[in-house]
Structure 1
């Protein structure tokens, strides 16, 4: 006699055969059939899977405390949720990241996987829902409309923490380079034209400061997403829950996750509003824009090796051309640029999806989630890659830096207080036409002596605010 490899499960639309080995059930199977969209399952985002398990565990604890869930079911559900948060059965979270239904398929997928894991812990067969039911027990006191956005916020918080850590790694890399290059004088540029001298260390320190500012902005955004609507159920009225449920489940969720979540003071508003996701997406766009600008600078500064700026060297990581021997391209900054372009596009998607919400619910949170999680994950990977495969290995072309400063017309600005704007302008014009250095012309015209020039053009005088010196 052959052993069946399928079990029959029933839903609103009828019966479907579900693979016996599957922890998901009929609702998940319907979603697999209905949404063959991206080919990317929700398990691609483990933070989301873990967040869903955390919400289910908190709900079980609250329902048991309220006398609504028996002890044996509580223990089985909690054990299943903790197993999922340790990585068990993540491959069973199979519905497509982009789906209709405001995330219902994701919530059903979580309910079914956790229920079937719990059934095994109870010694029952998968699909034996008379013993423990995905909706009646795992989803007790819940709706997709409060579970899904809460899980998104928990997952987003986890992602922000991971991204900030990666940004901190990159910031530290820039800080080390700023210290290494602190005495390397170079020409600063505005509008790609020679401006005034600075140090290469000052240039790299700005990259570090920019990252640090955005780390702060991300942590501010993380505080906004800590306000949740769990307990709102369908539209925010809390139907089918007791008055004690919302604060109780929030308390348990904070305990389970270690994240300082709070219950929104107005659950009807919180159930339809996705403003915190728009805010987070905007900050991610800010991070992307600034990182892309930094990478543009790295590509310019390293351009050459002989026909460009050639002020710094990026570490070579791969051959750059199939036709030009010896060519090495700035591929790591280039990949960071492309991540930034993607994040900017994701922000547009989030904006449109947020605007499209209607009345008491936004049905488009799945694409919001997909966009945010992509942005967070790719920015994190990009920061770590940029630090380890690029910034850590950057070296300075010191002779090139010195030569550019010595031959730059831009240093004439430092002479303004001593020879006057009119004389300085004439010197600059002559240098541009003749090819002579500014110093040569100033001495030739008798405007300053070599000793005086040497004192004025010391790096310390050129790269920070100083009182004008008294020339002798």
Structure 2
């Protein structure tokens, strides 16, 4: 049994797997680019197919795309959008500049599906032609950057929801531990009292701000250059095509898609650089927060041990009973990789030349990976670790009463000099400030405890800083 069919493109004959819905140009790309072994991102595939569907509808007007062809193309696109034939998008993520190979992969799959539905054969491309009909009024140069923007718009709500979910969990913990007094630490040295709740609340606020910053990029991502054709000039496009196709995409996606400046949208990836920058900022904050949680959970006997993270797996192949903070170690690793993706995006954004940025396939892939990895990592860390955090309140209380920094609370009561004497005695003898204050009859233990709690909440008279 013959396992291949023979097709022709502008360079000559090509063997294509008989069962494949793609055609000659896709088969060439598979042969040319055995690079990463990674298929295209699913959201990107679906975004590109939506563009083909919207274009067919926008092009259906007298003298352009007939209704028979439009309906066949739309039906083929709807099959793919419903989940069929996704395995037919096979071009490696590292491919010809600008993404011509992926564009033709989409054109060929859609054309073959349409022709078979109309009674034709795979590879014959009649009556629906991949270039003349499916790609009508389009170019790789305007469909690929538009598809990247649509794909990140599809991913953005999932990432924002993950960030807000983690922020919400920190807010819940903040309320629960609002009166868990502990030693603050600056320069990794003992400092004035705070509460575990305030530390958690700081994390919640920071992550909520990151989510808002990500959302703020959305309007710029909704401006597309579809209709610019090959160089932003609109060559070979149907009347009013940019606005018509933008309206179709808005209806398909639920986003406020609109035609932007067609030349600029092909030349500039600034909006994608902005998004990557906000993703980088999020990764930096998550790295810091993960490091804090790992420090706070260090121990259990010889570290800080102020919180306990739920055990999710044995921590060592040699040390029995050891448990490690693996979820936040994982989140750290993902964040570091995301920083690398942002660096790659930055290099590729500035690599555009004249009318086009040919680095778009890898640029899009780097963004897609960063968004998916962070979404999954944040969700996993929240569900498997953050929600099960236990505060070790006894440990927090032990440390706060061992801290010489508590003498700072006495400044407004007994003056800096006498407070310094208390601090020196505590440092010399190892006795808690609480006991020394009581011994000197400066205040009793209960009054001092109340002072510590008030200070941890930022209540009390102000004094000099330092």
- Give TM-score scaled by structure 2 length: 0.96
User: Which of 402, 415, 422 is the matching residue for 1:407?
Assistant: 402
SS of the aligned residue for 1:198 comes to strand
Query: Which sections of structure 2, spanning at least 5 residues, go unmatched?
Result: none
Of 162, 168, 174, 1:178 maps to 174
- Distance (Å, rounded) in 2 between the aligned partners of 1:462 and 1:140: 67
Structure 1 equivalent of residue 319 of structure 2:
324
Q: Which residue of 2 aligns with 1:118?
A: 114
Partner of 1:138: 134
What is the 5 A alignment of 1:302-313? 302-313=297-308
Deviation at residue 452 of structure 1 after TM alignment = 4.5
Q: Is contact 1:9–1:18 with CA below 8 Å preserved after alignment? A: yes
- Tell me the residue number matched to 1:263: 259
Q: How far apart are 1:238 and its partner, in Å?
A: 0.6
Q: Is residue 2:243 matched to residue 1:244?
A: no
Consecutive unaligned residues in structure 1, runs of 5 or more: none
The counterpart of 1:385, out of the listed 364, 380, 384, is 380
- SS of residue in 1 equivalent to 2:97: coil
Partner SS for 1:103: helix
Q: What SS does the corresponding residue of 1:218 show, helix, strand or coil?
A: helix
Deviation at 1:67, TM superposition (A): 4.6
How do residues 14-413 of structure 1 correspond to structure 2 at under 5 angstroms? 14-42=12-40, 45-65=41-61, 67-264=63-260, 266-413=261-408
1:197 is paired with a residue whose SS is strand
Q: Is the 8 A contact 2:193 2:455 kept in 1?
A: no
C-alpha contact (below 8 Å) 2:195/2:456 kept by paired residues: no
Distance in structure 1 (CA, Å) of the matches to 2:334 and 2:3: 44
Render the CA deviation track for 1:176-222: whole Å, top value 9, x for unaligned.
22222222111111111111112211111112111111110111112
Deviations 1:271-321 (A, max 9, x none): 110111111110110111101111101100000000000000000011111
Partner SS state of residue 352, structure 2: coil
Give yes or no for contact 1:227–1:261 (8 Å, CA) kept in 2: yes
- 1: CA distance, partners of 2:144 / 2:450: 67
Counterpart-to-counterpart distance in 2, 1:261 and 1:212: 26
Moved over 6 A (4+): none
Contact 1:415–1:456 (8 Å) recurs in 2: no
Which of these residues, 454, 459, 463, is aligned with residue 465 of structure 1?
A: 459
1:433 corresponds, among 404, 428, 433, to 428
Q: Give the secondary structure class of the aligned counterpart of 2:156.
A: helix
User: 2:120, 2:126 within 8 Å by CA — same for their partners in 1?
Assistant: no
SS of the equivalent of 2:60 reads: helix
Deviation at 1:168, TM superposition (A): 2.0
The CA RMSD measured in Å over matched residues stands at 1.6
1:165 CA displacement: 1.4
CA contact (8 A) 1:49 1:85 kept: no
CA contact (8 A) 2:266 2:356 kept: yes
- In 1, Cα distance between the equivalents of 2:73 and 2:56? 7
Q: Which moved more, 1:70-79 or 1:448-457?
A: 448-457
- Is the 8 Å Cα contact of residues 414 and 462 (structure 1) preserved in structure 2? no
User: What is the Cα deviation at residue 449 of structure 1?
Assistant: 4.5
Distance 1:452 1:391, change over 3 A: closer
Answer yes or no: is the 8 Å Cα contact 2:97–2:358 preserved in 1.
Answer: yes
**1:89 Cα deviation (Å)?**
0.8
Provide the rounded CA distance (Å) in 2 between the counterparts of 1:34 and 1:350.
24
What is the number of residues matched between the two proteins?
Answer: 463
Superposition deviation, residue 461 in structure 1: 4.2
Question: What is the SS of the residue equivalent to 2:29?
Answer: helix
In structure 2, distance between residues paired with 1:341 and 1:127: 45
Tell me by how many angstroms 1:100 deviates: 2.2
